[in-house]
Amino acid sequence: MKRTISHLADGRELIYFDRRDDADRSAIDPRDLPPRPFASELRYDPLMDEWVAIARHRQTRTHLPSADECPLCPAKPWSEIPSPYDVAVFENRFPSFSFDLGEYEQVGGLSQVRPGVGRCEVVCFTSDHNASFGSLSDEQVELVMEAWADRTAELSSLPGVEQVFCFENRGPEIGITLPHPHGQIYAYPYVTPRTKQMLGAAARHTGGNLFADVLSAERTGPRVVAANEHWTAFVPAAARYPFEVHVYPHRQVPDIPALTSEERSAFAPLYTSVLRRLDGLFGVAMPYISAWHQAPVSFGRDLAYLHLQLFSIRRAPNKLKFLAGSESAMGGFVNDILPEEAARMLRNVQITS
């Protein structure tokens, strides 16, 4: 793999990940771009003990351009990526967190305000606008994993970063703003609420590692969707979403960089098969969120267990699961589909290898 660092017209980093060592990355960004926005401000919610990022500049971000104007398609006058690529990663032009600091005033009361330091990156899985992650070759998925591992390690070393989150949003029902196959990476200046909650549960668990015990209980059960030597994909017993699959490595590791080359290779065919099962379930492109749960940078790494959470809000061919009153206001989920039935439906989808 060849890794090449370049820069866009406004100074943002662009990193190419190529399979060939002779890839030419000399093309420059010809655009005249405005100055980079200042970092968001973080405001503390004392009732929830959580930080909320206020990022006003994101209101003007690109929203659902036509395929002819896609900024992730390479080598166009409006492109974020000046030349064709295998996998490309660049700093988000409209970041939720960054190191470009402005002035931040306190708001009074019990809240606090601090700069939203951190970094947000866009990961372009392929230059093919019409592809999807599920259609990628095993070789291409491995290259994406190399990019995830590289970026997780580098972002974890930045000052003020407490957690690195790699994810993909797919489908207009999820709220994507760019349809080109891509994901994002957030380098948070705090540990996210969900991670704190899971690590708290793991700390209270007795008898072994909580995540490992969950995986052990699921590996031979009725909710397994797919498995191989290194990974198991299963519907969790208390799934919150109509179709939700968790993908665990069989070995406890804190993050993607800690995976062996064999584990990374084994992930590709299993994961893409699960994505194709989702698309084949109702014969339509399934909207989903795919979220890597990695250990925080500075604590809980002995308790954490890398895993991927994949879920969709589609519950039927023409029906979505809306996160309405109970879910959105109270955090109390009500699922419409029995997890064992969801797993059976996914297993029964006929897919081609």
What confidence tens digit (pLDDT) does each residue in 209-242 have?
999 999 999 999 999 999 999 999 999 999 999 9
Q: Is 70 annotated to bind ligand? A: yes
CATH number of the domain at 194-347, out of 3.90.105.10, 3.30.428.10, 3.40.50.920, 3.40.190.10?
3.30.428.10
* Phi, psi torsion values for 25, nearest 5 degrees: -120, 40
CB 129 within 8 A of CB 73: yes
Q: Taking the model in full, what pTM does it have?
A: 0.97
Two domains, one topology: 2-192 and 194-347: yes
Looking at residue 73, its pLDDT comes to 97
The CA distance from 346 to 340, in Å, is 10
Q: Which residues of the chain have pLDDT under 70?
A: 353
Looking at residue 353, its pLDDT comes to 65
Q: Is 240 exposed, middle or buried (0-12, 13-18, 19+ CB in 10 A)?
A: middle
Q: Where in the sequence numbering do the catalytic residues fall?
A: 182
Looking at residue 352, its pLDDT comes to 78
What value does the mean pLDDT of the chain take?
96
CATH number of the domain at 2-192, out of 3.30.428.10, 3.90.180.10, 3.40.50.12160, 1.10.630.10?
3.30.428.10
- pLDDT tens-digit readout, 73-92: 999 999 999 999 999 999 99
Q: Quick count: other Cβ atoms within 10 Å of Cβ 166?
A: 26
Of residues 318, 330, 177, 348, the one with CA closest to residue 240? 330
The CA distance from 91 to 184, in Å, is 10
Q: Is 63 annotated to bind ligand? A: no
Domain ranges of the chain: 2-192, 194-347
Looking at residue 232, its pLDDT comes to 98
Strands 224-227 and 231-234: antiparallel
